[in-house]
A and B are shown apart, each in its own frame.
Chain A
Amino acid sequence: MKRTLVLLMLVATPAFAQTLEDPMAPSPIPQGTGDDAVSVSAEIFGTGRRDDAYGAFQRGYFLTALQLALPRAEANDAAAQTLIAEIYARGLGVSENLARASGWYAIAAKNGDVLAAFELGMLYLDGNGVPRNPAKAADLFKQAADKGYAAAEYNLALLHVEGRYLRPDLSEAARLMKAAADKDLASAQYDYGSMLIEGAGVPPDAAAGARYVGLAAKQGLIAAMVDYATLLYLGQGIAKNLEEAVGWYRSAAESGNAVAQVRLGKLMAVGEGTDFDLTHAAMWRALARRQGYSDPQLDKLLASISAADLAAAEELARFWPSEPPKAESAGG
């Protein structure tokens, strides 16, 4: 999640995103439209001198990018320093080397690069490539958060909630969380929504809370989908809507979330918001059990299932998420 955001912030062109999704792709030339090529060459030849390294980077020529960026990095060009750090942090065309990445992030951060400050903060938080130092991580997050970098605001908020390395301060956490949420960071939308619902650091506001949790759900954050479904089911902070609740439980269940699988099973077993369907209810129960999650209430609801339906459910679960192979119809 954080990683995705970071990538989007670094460079916005589709070519870049494609390259990073598969850095080992044999053909580094993006499969995009002609527009991509135009924009890339415009960046390389049209504008500032920093774009040659980025151009190579975007097209997957990481070693070329490194070579082009190095002299500029030594000459204190923060963008080039960050580019090199990214190459080492992700092991793009070189062995992953977090110590080296830290070195370049540090100098880029000092030169005012927010992405670098944030990434170095994460390395210090986890002790990757540098000795673990959450206090230093907090300083770096602060540096990036002060410039409005959403992922840094989010992590700084978490450190204020945790209150071990920064002073415990729920209202500051809520302020930062809102700032990150309003920049469309899904985790922040979910956490800020939860803070609004609970009245943590902000006056309780069920409607705003539900709205933020919904935004995170719409971005595909599974925990938010499950919570949003529950809010819709209960009609808390949002108009009650069983069909929509089922839809969100289903999305989360299909992503493998065991809680959502059980809740979807229960709704199917009673026909609330969806068709009554004991076989699929039992399938979801079987899938949740596989993950070690069982629910006595669902077991009770499924007590009356026929042996044949139960067997069919087990068969569905065995092949899930694919369909079981269909027997050839004899009459065909």
Chain B
Amino acid sequence: MNVQFFLVAPPGTEPAQFMSPLKSVLATAAVSALLLPREGHTDASYKVLAKAVIPVAQAANCAVLIEGEAGLVKALGADGLQVSGDIGEVKAAIAALKPHHVVGAASIASRHDAMSKGELGPDYLFFGPTSGIRDPEQREMARWWAEIFEIPAVLSDPLANAETAASEGAEFIALGESLWAASDPAAMLAKIAEALKVAA
């Protein structure tokens, strides 16, 4: 099976800036999930963004993942929660949300951390940062994880372009920063999709 797209919204973005590029990329390629980072938001602005994005994304068969409290998932009608905390937080989120909602574990510090979190049964492990430069070790770890374990890996590549994007065997590639910075995010996603042979 080919790699699937996982998008990461820009930090602190507002519906007025984000809805238009989001709609265009969702119309360009199949996107499995969209993460809304909490970074750069107040509680209020985050809710405003989520409420605007969720129906649009879900209409395009794209699951919306949020960060923060488990209770917020249901309150906002999101599909799941991405947890960047320690094992205890992942465990609590899984207890609160599964099986009806998705739980992803991010900020994987080490292979040991990956396996410890993986054993709790999240829906995916998110390798790499949501923005900025990726530590090459994270790419290696995702490759290793995808080869051995059944829980899907998301390999984040915030600065991806069509020449460098590679899934390394991970089930999902997470894109964001470089797309939103492009003059035409949809065109850039189309090029990456072409390079990775992701179905439209």
Contacts and interface: CB of A to CB of B under 8 A. Distances in A.
A99 to B, nearest CB: 7
A106 B112 contact: no
Nearest to A130: B148
A107 B141 CA distance: 9
B147 A100 contact: no
Given A99-B115, A99-B119, A106 B110 contact: no
B111 interface: yes
Interface in B141-163: 144-145, 147-150
Contacts, number: 32
A73 B141 CA distance: 13
Contacts of A100: 115, 119
A100 B112 CA distance: 9
B111 A74 contact: yes
A70 interface: yes
Contacts of B149: 99, 103
Contact of B144 (A73, A97, A107, A131): A107
Contact of A106 (B114, B118, B119, B148): B148
A102 interface: yes
Contact of A74 (B110, B145, B148): B110
Interface in B30-73: none
Interface size class of A (residues with CB under 8 A): 10 to 19
A103 B110 contact: no
A99 B117 CA distance: 13
B112 to A, nearest CB: 6
A107 B118 CA distance: 17
Contacts of A110: 144
A17 B169 CA distance: 39
Nearest to A104: B111
Contacts of B148: 99, 102-103, 106, 130
A70 B112 CA distance: 8
Contacts of A130: 148
Contact of A73 (B111, B114, B145): B111
A103 B150 contact: no
B150 A131 contact: yes
B144 A106 contact: yes
B117 to A, nearest CB: 12
Nearest to B109: A74
A122 to B, nearest CB: 14
A130 B147 CA distance: 10
A103 B119 contact: no
Interface in B66-119: 110-112, 114-115, 118-119
Given A103-B144, A106-B148, A74 B119 contact: no
Contacts of B111: 73-74, 103-104, 107
A70 B111 CA distance: 9
A100 B111 CA distance: 10
Interface string A80-107: 0000000000000000010110111011
A175 B102 CA distance: 52
Interface in B140-194: 144-145, 147-150
A80 to B, nearest CB: 11
A130 B149 CA distance: 7
Nearest to A107: B144
Contacts of A103: 111, 114-115, 144-145, 148-149
8 contacts: A70-B112, A99-B149, A100-B115, A102-B148, A103-B111, A103-B144, A103-B149, A107-B144
Interface of B: 110-112, 114-115, 118-119, 144-145, 147-150
Q: Closest 8 interchain pairs by CB? A: A74-B110, A106-B148, A100-B115, A103-B148, A102-B148, A103-B115, A107-B144, A70-B112
Given A100-B115, A107-B144, A110-B144, 8 more contacts: A70-B112, A73-B112, A99-B115, A102-B148, A103-B111, A103-B114, A103-B149, A131-B150
